[in-house]
Amino acid sequence: MRDRQHSPYRWVILAMVSLSGFITMGFPIAGLSALFSEIATSLDLDLIQIGVIWGVGMVMGIFTSFLGGSLIDYFGTRRALVFMCLAAGVCGALRGLAVDFWSLFLFSFLYGTLQPVLPLNFVKLNREWFASRQLGFAAGVMALGFALGAMLGSRYSATLLSPLLGGWRAVLIAFGLSSILLAILWALVHPPDERKPRQGLDLRQLVTKLRRVAGFRQLRVIALAVFGAVGLAQGVMGYVPTYLREIGWTAFDADSAIPVFFLASLIGVVPISHLSDRLGERRLVMIFGTAMMTLGTLLMYFAGGNYWAVILAMAIGGLCFDSFMALMGASITEMPGLEIALVGSALGFNGMLQNLGGSMLPPLGNTLSVISLNAPFLLWAAAGLFATLVLLSYRGRGER
């Protein structure tokens, strides 16, 4: 691993990781949010059903993240990347064939078994190719791909791609085909993994790995914080475009809010992530991030239909989102005592809580819309506050 961390080829891998975040995560996830209004009209979905579809993509991730992380450790990042990009591309494209709520639910459910595992590959790759002194920067560049894809996907999926390709179905199919092409590119670019003698992977070994990684207090703290932060972000990203249309905004104005969230994140992700390298302290930067996300979400509750208040709330809420996610992965991979052979499993453990928050909190928040259209923002702001308090509770003592 040390040879890789000094090899110039690490910059090629980092460029591929950033491109992968753009193609498989940022653009299609935010793009789906922007397409929800068109999908809802086509399939006759209400706000609660939209929230379920937005969250169900993470439901299977609750159960598959740890297994997926362990399989990454077992098979190596190259095999895992190629297979998961191919499979996620096929399952993602199937969503474009949905004819009603239940078929869209099923295809989103299948897609959710794979898509949440993909980022675990990217985070482990960064750890394999970059030393700690550059890991925050590398994580920030990786997250830059996510943020750029999210900003462009939220802005142009509905307003440009959908009219250009002939509707939301074609856009979702195009997302899937892009992921399949990326799998081929990874097969060509990623060096062969080192061949090591491996024993069979069985349920007993998985349970043992789970117990080992769950013994890290730092991992448990990060996972709980991610539960709240991702639940907040998924809820806001999925709800805001439809919410703004419901309170009378034009489609163009409504689709301009989420891109501000991601533009702010895009601007802040590399310098904020790199700041953690300079400070030698990732936790405080993560606390600042969750606090900003909480503040931005709370401002959305009070903003009403005021255009500039909404834009300000989106900018504040988005400024630290991708840097928080980048530093979350970096913090886990460099935990004292964590072997590189267990990094995927540790990331998978964190992924279980991440996907639980991302699948549970968006529809839970959306149900509050029957009380008031802005009420969901209160629940998501509370989730952000929870994440901040959890991180504040950890001081780095008593690691295990």
pLDDT tens digits for range 340-349 = 888 888 999 9
Distance CA 179, CA 173 (A): 10
User: Residue 21 region, left (φ>0) first, then alpha (ψ -120 to 50), else beta?
Assistant: alpha
Alpha helices in the chain (DSSP H): 2-5, 10-20, 27-43, 47-75, 77-94, 101-111, 118-129, 132-156, 162-165, 168-189, 203-214, 217-246, 251-254, 257-279, 283-303, 307-318, 321-333, 343-367, 376-392
Radius of gyration of the chain (CA): 20
Assign residue 196 a region (left: φ > 0; alpha: ψ between -120 and 50; beta: otherwise): beta
Q: Which residues lie below 8 Å from residue 282, measured CB to CB, with a gap of 6+? A: 136, 276, 327, 330, 331
**SS3 assignment, position 374:** coil
- Using 50, 70 and 90 to split pLDDT, how confident is the model at 380? very high
pLDDT of amino acid 1: 57
User: pLDDT per residue over 12-24, tens digit each?
Assistant: 999 999 999 999 9
pLDDT of res. 194: 61
Mean pLDDT in the chain? 87
User: Can you give the pLDDT at residue 186?
Assistant: 93
pLDDT of residue 191: 86
Closest alpha carbon to 112 in 367, 356, 300? 356
* 134 contact partners, CB below 8 Å, separation of at least 6: 277
Nearest CA to 123 out of 48, 60, 190, 69 is that of 69
For a pLDDT cut of 70, what percent of the chain falls above it? Answer: 95
User: Does residue 399 surpass a pLDDT of 80?
Assistant: no
Higher pLDDT, 102 or 205: 102
- Give per-residue burial for 366-398: e unless 16+ CB within 10 Å, then b: bebbeeebbebbbbbbbbbbbbbebbeebeeee
Closest CA to 140 of 323, 330, 347: 323
Superfamily of domain 2-192+202-392: MFS general substrate transporter like domains (1.20.1250.20)
Q: What is the pLDDT of residue 389?
A: 96
The pLDDT confidence band at residue 398, using thresholds 50, 70 and 90, is very low
Q: What is the pLDDT of residues 296-339, one digit of tens each?
A: 999 999 999 899 999 999 999 999 998 999 899 899 988 888 88
User: What pLDDT, on a 0 to 100 scale, did the predictor assign at position 400?
Assistant: 36
Query: Residue 212: is its pLDDT beyond 90?
Result: no
- pLDDT tens per residue across span 102-136: 999 999 888 888 888 888 889 998 888 888 888 88
- Higher pLDDT among residues 198 and 28, named by residue: 28
pLDDT, residue 311, reads: 95
Q: Which two structure tokens, joined as six digits, stand for 360?
A: 């549970």
